[in-house]
Amino acid sequence: MTTDHRTHARVAVVTGGSRGIGRAVCERLAQNGLAVVVNYARDAAAAKETVATITAAGGRAVSVQADVADENAVTALFDRAEQEFGGVDVVVNAAGRLALSPIADLDLEVLDAVLRTNLRGTFVVAQRAARRLRAGGSFVAFSTSVVATRFPAYGAYVASKGAIESITLILARELRGRDITVNTVAPGPTATDLFLDGKGPEQIEQLAKAPPLERLGTPQDIARVVAFLTSSEGHWINGQILRANGGMV
């Protein structure tokens, strides 16, 4: 394993860490020597699988349930991280919700649910991270490259993610003087259950050919970006939106 040279063992909290990109991030950060708190909303079994994979490889991890939009639950999540591992150095908010619908047809209750998880959830996790991260730490949020490509039917999702991009530099500037970075990763089409759900083979093939590299991204592609941003090598990058999408807009 490779590790950053710090005066203490580094600790990461990853929301949405039981599946997809979140799970890949958990596993990659553990490979880099961080202890990982794997947050999940509902799928306890998948979170335990993530922990088991990490510990089997010699890493340290625990799973903790919390709704990212619930400030009390997120506070308890950070409390658990500090109790288990002594502090928090990296926070990655990978939890998210996707709903596809033309704007004219969207059920407003669905809109509320998307905004609650994606926007309020990110805000709550960022708020707690700002209060708890140690010097030298990093916060990474998630957006989507659809903020730029503006595909039809993504109105609710893009509305939630565009707001996240807007607050990235604001939070970075608010943390001036604390040696903490704040960045947002905006993946393009990535082969996760969330992305593939409801799409036919032709649509998936079309999206795979959109980037000049002519393939879907993988969760591991995105996890490598997060690992760099949260490492000492990536610490000069701050307040940025990184479109990890193989060359799309």
Cβ proximity of 248 and 207 under 8 Å: no
Closest CA relative to residue 80, chosen from 15, 166, 137: 15
Q: CB burial class (10 A; 0-12, 13-18, 19+) of residue 89?
A: buried
**Residues with Cβ within 8 Å of residue 180, at least 6 apart in sequence:** 130, 133, 135, 136, 137, 138, 139
Catalytic residue among 30, 157, 182, 223: 157
Neighbouring C-alpha atoms within 13 Å toward the C-beta of 36: 35
Q: Is 154 a catalytic residue?
A: no
* Longest CA–CA separation in the chain, Å: 54
| Active-site residue list | 157
